[in-house]
Amino acid sequence: MNTIYISMDASPVLTDYLLSKGNHLEFTASDGIVSEAIANHPDVFLCKMGAVDGSPIFFAQREELNRDYPGDSVFNAACTGKYFIHNLSITSEKLLMAAKDMEMTLIDVRQGYTKCSTVVVDENSIITYDEGIVKACAPYRDLDVLQIAPGFVRLDGFDTGFIGGASGRVGNEIIFNGDLFSHPDFNSIVSFIEKRGLVCRWFADYKLTDIGSIL
């Protein structure tokens, strides 16, 4: 049985779907550790060190996080299994050591909320709106990056949420939390995912919403 870490604020439409596929759900909730808008986001508190099911997961201790940025993003790295992408000046030392032990290639970006900003598709493929991430990844010729328009994702308390935080990979599916069809780059996103032999899943019932990733 696959264990998935997900916000307690996730829509029942999403959680019912994940449960129907035989997954076990661990719900993330916190109070007072980080700001209220991201208090229940799993990608604040844990880092999945690869794209696929069964990738190692590292958990932050309460004392490793601070309420304000960048102290709330020390675990928010985007990891494909081959690549470890984050603002390396703020990354948790525990994660950096693990990435080096796993012989992952480190890519330094300015964005602290890297996982929030990035859909990890497979070992060599990501989707992001962040131009800084796109530029930092460009020298790595076997890392395919689809750049999309920013915005079009809901996050209560902010003007916009992040596409990575509204998604996650489970098995051979890239699942989006809400109506991906409303995103202007819908066709490009679906094509990019399907060309890699994966299925793109979304839910038309509600707006595309950032819940801190589906991990």
Domain spans in the chain, listed from the N-terminal domain onward: 3-201
Residues of the chain with pLDDT under 50: none
* Closest to 139 measured CA to CA, from 185, 106, 103: 106
Q: Rg for the chain (alpha carbons), in Å?
A: 16
Spatial separation of the C-alpha atoms in residues 102 and 100, rounded to whole Å: 5
Residue 58 tokens read as 């590292």
> What's the confidence (pLDDT) of residue 13?
98
Q: Does the 3-201 domain belong in CATH 3.75.10?
A: yes
> What's the confidence (pLDDT) of residue 157?
85
Q: Side by side, which strands form the sheet with 199-201?
A: 167-170, 173-176, 199-201
pTM over 0.85: yes
pLDDT digit string, tens, across residues 112-171: 999 999 999 999 999 999 999 999 999 999 999 999 999 999 998 888 999 999 999 999
CB 98 within 8 A of CB 66: no
**Residue 202 carries which side chain, given as an amino acid letter?**
W
Cα–chain center distance at 196: 18
